[in-house]
Amino acid sequence: KILLLSICVAYIAVKWTAPSFDPESLRGARVLVTGASKGIGEQMAYHYGRFGAKIVITGRREKALQQVVERCLSLGAQKALYIAADMANESEPDKVVDFALEKLGGLDYLVLNHIGSSSFSMWEGDVEHTRWLMKVNFFSYIQMAWKALPSLEQNKGSLVIVSSVAGKMPSPFVAPYVATKSALNGFFGSLYHELALKKSNVSISICTLGLIDTESAMSKVKGLVKAPAYPATEAALNIIRTGATRQQELYYPWFTHIICVIRDWFPPLTNYLIQNSINYNP
Ligand code: NDP
């Protein structure tokens, strides 16, 4: 109990000392959000729109992107444009960043959020799917980050990576997804230090999310996972706030941080909790 209490006190202290968020800082900011045709990315696009940012969004489905752009404009975005792209295609990540740089005249924020679809089931040896997922969820991220870095550097910009608690604490039924998120955490964790050593202007924020109530996540885990799901719109706002205040990490909901901290201290307890959060009868 004392241990848990100390963790909670330390957590509250960290939160209190976190820099405060000024939504006005996003007025006119030039933002590229990936995977914004639905889910958390869509909600981020609306928040950026309300804050008066200039945004480019991307995803594969043109019609959905068009509708999101229209809503962003009606909410107050200074500019809202879309470009349809499939991140499994090696030339598309560069194409998307070039489009945003050209249309917005530079970038202040690059928010990497998209994911390819992957089933919620036991791994049955499908290496090809894992290879494809790495392209979409990982390689396209590092390609876009590299392409955008010079402009972000020029504008004291921010790189925001949307990751998952699954990338820190592997859970069953999502092995290929876990691999891609672990790769992101490792790669951008390393890049964070390299930029700091170079005294770069660019901040990197890695966002660790728990279960969020997006349609795609809910349809996959329904009846299989016992954990509660948290609102996409709030997750989106927390991601934006983390990028705008240039914080290194976000844990949303808050207790995901505690789960990650205690993981290494009590492995049997962690294993018990993970395996008991799943409904599975062989
Ligand atoms: P969704 O499945 O709702 O949205 C995924 C987005 O990615 C869509 O806009 C989709 O657009 C786009 N996308 C899918 N495939 C491709 C592709 N091949 N090329 C380009 N874009 C593609 O995801 P969520 O909103 O649930 O998740 C968003 C982020 O949050 C992800 O990084 C995820 O890992 C993370 N996260 C989510 C959690 C959750 O419970 N929801 C939990 C932890 C982390 P389109 O179909 O038009 O291509």
Segments making up each domain of the chain, as ranges: 22-276
Confidence (pLDDT) at 165: 96
Q: How far is CA 185 from the centre of its chain?
A: 11
Catalytic amino acids? 177
CATH architecture of 22-276: 3-Layer(aba) Sandwich (3.40)
Confidence (pLDDT) at 280: 87
Atom of ligand 1 nearest to the CA of 177: 34
Q: What is the average pLDDT across 124-138?
A: 98
Tell me how far CA of residue 93 lies from CA of 4, 33, 201, 221, 256, in angstroms: 43, 12, 23, 29, 30
pLDDT tens profile 18-72: 789 999 999 999 999 999 999 999 999 999 999 999 999 999 999 999 999 999 9
Query: Residues with Cβ within 6 A of ligand 1?
Result: 35-41, 59-61, 64, 85-88, 113-116, 136, 162, 164, 209, 211-212, 214, 216-217
pLDDT tens profile 201-257: 999 999 999 999 999 999 999 989 988 999 999 999 999 999 999 999 999 999 999
**Secondary structure of residue 206 in the 3-state scheme:** strand
Tell me how far CA of residue 219 lies from CA of 38, 50, 233, in angstroms: 14, 29, 18
pLDDT higher than 80, residue 5? no
Contact call for residues 279 and 224 (beta carbons, < 8 A): yes
ipTM over 0.90: yes
DSSP state at residue 78: S
pLDDT tens profile 97-113: 999 999 999 999 999 99
Q: Is the Cα torsion angle 85, 87, 92, 94 positive or negative in sign?
A: positive
Band (pLDDT 50/70/90 cuts) for residue 17 is low
**Secondary structure of residue 205 in the 3-state scheme:** strand
Band (pLDDT 50/70/90 cuts) for residue 142 is very high
Q: How far apart are CA 214 and CA 161, in angstroms?
A: 18
Token pair 């928010």 is at which residue?
Answer: 111
Q: Is the Cα torsion angle 169, 175, 176, 177 positive or negative in sign?
A: negative
Contact call for residues 270 and 71 (beta carbons, < 8 A): no
pLDDT higher than 90, residue 8? no
Confidence (pLDDT) at 52: 98
Structure tokens at 82: 């879309």
Atom of ligand 1 nearest to the CA of 87: 19
